[in-house]
Structure 1
Amino acid sequence: EKQIKLLNFSLSVEKLVDAIKKVFSNEKMRVQTIESMEEIFEEMKEFSYIMKGAENDIFLHGKGSEEQIYNNDGNSVVQQHRKWLIVMADFPKVFVAQLRDMIYPKSYVVCFSKKNDNSAMWGNYADCHKGVCLIYDTGDEAKLKVGGRHIPLDVRAISYGGESIECNFFQTLGRLTMVQIREWLLGVDGVSSCYEAFSDVEEWRKRYWKIYDAKTYRKTKNWEHEKEFRVAVSNTFGEFDVPQKQNMSFDWNLLKGVIFGIRTSEYDKKQILAKLIKHKDELSDFTFYQAEYSAEEQKIKIRKKKFWRLINYKGKVNGTEKV
């Protein structure tokens, strides 16, 4: 026999929603989350009512199996219970994710690597060796186009491992104004001592971005073989909230070559060639390469394709001619 235990919610839905509204003092965050939270709590109230009736049936009328308990609409309480468990499991994750957004804005990242012959990376990131590897010039003059504007291509190396940096949530409210932070930390006994961390703004800002760098440019040592570099664009002012503005692109003159994978099909090679030929006037010092497996050395070797040159292409753009 199974018994259903009624959980007692001591805090009313209305008070809890009011508390959350105060937490999400940022207008945009509040608009995005409060409606969904209210729906969640309505479901919790509804289930609490159903469970109370089920509890009476079990203990007053002798029904001893969950499968025998139904509400007035004929719906299984077991199904409602499962739905409620999902709400209880997912809601804390949603709540914590929104709190995290109060600390740091989302970042959009472009990843590069110094390695072009790592078999595991070709398998993971290049469709099991059927894709290609693009070679870019990431020099000081290079720029990235994102959100309709050009920004410097600030390529930074990933550090692997390193010390853990503790982050106090109440002292890292970077997305709120000082007025909002003070109000957020204001209680019945006055302003929290955490507010003292904001007294030296320069020192606070230095630590704030140190933690941001650790979050954005650090990975565990398990990934060290990738020799990764990243370009990160922070959505500080919400300018990339619209998906269309999240597209990142490079000027064609930064593309210096392409490495075809071991299993890249001839059809895909011709399609890529046709695309590149349309921009051949913008591509300087462009080189084609082919990845091959060396059984003797038991590793991937990168071979230059000597007869593939965009500058010597004479035919129409149909992807069939190479010189």
Structure 2
Amino acid sequence: MQDILERLNAGEVVVGDGGMVLQLERRGYVKAGHWTPEAAVQHPEAVHQLHREFLRAGADVLQTFTFYCSEDKLELSGNVTDITGAEINEAACDLAREKWLKGSALVAGCVSQTPCYLGNHNEAEVKSLFKKQMDEFLKKDIDFFIAEFFQYVEEAAWAVEVLKTSGKTVGATMCISPHGDMSGLPPGDCAVRLVKAGADIVGVNCHLDPTACIQTVNGYMGLPEFPFVVLLSSLSLICRSLTRWDVHKYAREAYEAGIRYIGGCCGFEAYHIRAISEELRAERGFLPPASEKHGLWGAALEMHTKPWVRARAHREYWESLLPASGRPKCPSMATPEYE
């Protein structure tokens, strides 16, 4: 397979995978609040199944299930098992590289923000945590690195500096808004700092909706220093979940903004990734296997027994639909009971 930079520099669309931590929490494999990835060792079949679903939905990249896998985070989260960070990192790489998946997608080794940074801002200590993870990934020969979910550009830049010593491509994504990182540095300045640290790919992920994510990325792109491609992920949660049609719009707007690496984060399920793949089918030149029985824009509904459902089997219906929350007295629509 081509290196990710070769594909992006050729103008290809690269589809990322979706959110694994929240999906596994919903299925009972991850503890909410801690969000640490022991499941890669304890329940590898669950992690493997998610990889398969995202791959079938059209993902070109599978990220290792290593979110919050630095040793300090595992200790802080009360990891009382005998499972080490090294075991989790290595197992996660094996799962993404498993025989059934191998050769079908690029594998990205992922590191994320550390409690150590917030605790003491000790550059040497923080970098040592990233280097430990990097060395574990390199044993498994992952394709490239992603430093994801950083709120402070300083820590993200430290991660990039360490990961670049591997000689592999490095992407860096921050969970920031159009207002910038937690220290108040604007998105454009964050992007420049990441590039100067050595990042080949920069972008945003998590915390905000797709529209805000695209606005933030545009804050990156409005600079004369913009010589890099962009990785974009975003957020959907249970009661505020994006519909597949929302994701069609998100994928098109991201593509029109010049973004070529498009994926999902917390709450993004396989059908969201499938929607990205379907929206950009002309640009990619194919549909994913998960679209075989689905039908674009609900076309498969033409076979439904009820005429009012058959009437929904077209794009115009779903693009104009304004879904209700489905929840009685939804807070966004409720009226106060007292003045």
> Quick check: which has more Rg, 1 or 2?
1
Task: Please indicate the TM-score interval, normalised by the length of the shorter structure.
Answer: under 0.3
**TM-score normalised by length of structure 2:** 0.18
Structure with the larger strand share: 1
